A and B are shown apart, each in its own frame.
Chain A
Amino acid sequence: MLRVKGLSVRYGTMQVLRRVSFHVGADEIVAVIGANGAGKSTLLRTLSGLHRPSEGEIRFMNTPIHRTAPERIVRLGLIQVPEARQLFPNMTVLENLELGGFIYGGKHVEISLPQIYEIFPVLSDRRRQKAGTLSGGEQQMLSIGRALMAKPRLLVLDEPSMGLAPLIVEEIYQTIQNLHRMGTTVLLVEQNAMGALAISDRAYVLETGRVVLSGKASDLMEHDDVQRAYLGRDYQHKWER
């Protein structure tokens, strides 16, 4: 469904991504994990069309999107749940959700809202509350709900566990798994490696702008190199014990 090939992105003279390639197939949960500064946020910004790559291509549903305007990409069905939620704090939960389905018109919003409330009952309870007053976990759910309103073919989550307590993170991950079971394809970008690997099918590990490891998530959980990608090489000579 999503194919990224040889993507290089730079900010001015700074090279942030160096020939990154990965793909997400239909009905998969794929994780991209890496430490800070690995280039994850830049990757997502480029995916949504907010930034143009200097090399490489991105194909979504076989359409090249690396030179497309962001709103077109959203219409194609690539919806992002941004880092740190980025809700409209002074609007109610309902208004935030409505905005999510904005591009498809009022009819669609009417039909979709009950579905969202089913997935996230807590949002239904708080529908008239201002988004800024919700707890961190609830905000994250609202953010995901808002994204779901836009009929995503591919749901991209940018560090959903950021700033949330471990128990809430568990809940969020459960929700993501449920969504996946209901047929949504998910691309999960995380710093929290283990958590992301636990719910993904496959994963890619990013280190300073490069893919250094990829494979089945279950394999990667045991892999030494995941830790090395975060904490550096733990040996100096190959013969060390």
Chain B
Amino acid sequence: MPKDSIDSLSRDSLHQLQIERLQMTLNRAYFHVDFYRNRMDSLNLLPEEVGTFEDLRRFPFTTRQDLTDHYPYGLFAVPLRSIVRLKITTPALGDQGRPIVVGFTRHDSSMWHSLMMRLYEQLGVTDRDIVQVAFNFSLFPGAFTFNHAAELLGATLAPSSTISATLQLQIMQDFRSTVLATTAAFALHIVETMERLGMEPDSLHLRLILLGPDPLPDTTRDRLESAFGIPVYGLYGVTEMGEPGMAGECPAKAGLHLAEDQFLAEIVHPLTGEPVPSGQEGELVLTTLTAEAYPLIRYRTGDITVLREGPCSCGRTAARIVPILRRTDNRVSIRGIPLYPEQVEELLRSIDPLLDDFRLVIHTRYGVGEQLDILVSRTQAADLPGGGRAQYLELLRATIRRAVGLGTKVQMVEPDRLPREGLVYKTVFRSLSPPCALDPNCR
């Protein structure tokens, strides 16, 4: 049952709160953010011309490109001295690229922590729980929020860092962790490790698992729930905002409840930008309502979902989004690390301009991307950068690793041996997980 009064706010009161905060955000964006000021001026739009949610549709969308284009200060609404934290949410790839750096004021920071706390409470995590947070903190900028929120909740935080699954399991046993927060890939890896070590799930004291930041495919959830015998929940965050906790599941598992008091959600058609009828799928467009340092107005997340505004059986009134169905762009995720095939292409071609074609082969297990192989093909016989073939492949591999943080296998093949690309640009997926019938743990 919801504890926070926010959770039981009537839709009317929620809309009032949203309108107030929306107008405040527009005012601040107009007066303090150069990017929005210029944009509004060029459209002859003043903040007071947006009186209702419908009026907001006159406002153009903000895209990921806008964020990279206006690095570093174009989207900041406060001076640096009011910022307490800066996060690189999307590193620049290659030497010419521009990263996305997001800032947080003290207020923003505590807001995100309280959102995460809300998610914990929604799932029944209390101060008696022991939360084990297992993320690669250097690659996932939002991971610390799990820590901070758990501390604020009063839940004891088990020692955690980027350590092996075996050690994680040992700590889990010794300190009797009750909640595990990690990526889907790592959770699967822990399951494998458990099976390899012959460990029984009963020897652990876990009572729920929280997975992020990527969307949680059903196959993954089923696998993990059957392996651990406890519920597994997903949450949602926008990569570019660098924080998880924007939406999360409740025990009813009927979708992810959005923090509607902090964000205004719209579902639009990915091509036309027009709002879709209620209940239909479309791209999620978000407007921050209280973000001080880095307000975003009508940001296209690139995630396709459906918004459900009806009441949830858990009693909370906040609208829900269904787990993300797919993306509008070509972004893929490997072990929780986002990747754009276009960026990989740029990197590859910056090393080897004579490169013909390439493919990304993503091996997935239970729906989660685990391993990336890159196949390149080159018809020109001219000199390979790096010298010989082995050095060339090593050069590519090292560049990718340095830029993205992923270890990959790079192979050179004949052009006609390149697998045919699927829906995602120059990418194919190969499933590693055994078919259900052969898996003793699959129900």
Contact = CB atoms under 8 A, between A and B. Distances in A.
* Chain A directly contacts chain B within the complex, with at least one CB pair under 8 Å: yes
Interface of A: 3, 5-6, 8, 15, 18-23, 55-56, 204, 210-215, 219, 223-224, 235, 237-241
A84 to B, nearest CB: 29
A161 to B, nearest CB: 25
Listed residue (A21, A56, A214, A215) with the most chain B CB atoms within 10 angstroms of its CB: A21
B402 to A, nearest CB: 28
Given A56-B51, A210-B47, A219-B107, A240 B80 contact: yes
Contacts, number: 70
B20 A211 contact: yes
Contacts of A235: 79, 81
28 contacts: A5-B16, A6-B19, A8-B48, A19-B47, A19-B51, A20-B23, A21-B16, A21-B19, A21-B20, A22-B20, A23-B17, A23-B20, A55-B51, A56-B51, A210-B23, A210-B27, A211-B23, A213-B28, A214-B24, A215-B290, A223-B107, A224-B82, A235-B79, A235-B81, A238-B73, A238-B76, A238-B79, A239-B73
B28 A6 contact: no
B412 interface: no
Contacts of B76: 238
B107 A6 contact: no
B313 interface: no
A82 B50 CA distance: 31
B392 to A, nearest CB: 42
Interface residues of B, number: 26
B386 to A, nearest CB: 40
B20 A238 contact: no
Contacts of B379: none
A237 B48 CA distance: 26
A19 B48 contact: yes
B433 interface: no
B21 interface: yes
B165 to A, nearest CB: 42
B24 A212 contact: yes
Contacts of A6: 19, 23, 51-52
B24 A241 contact: no
B19 to A, nearest CB: 5
A211 B46 CA distance: 14
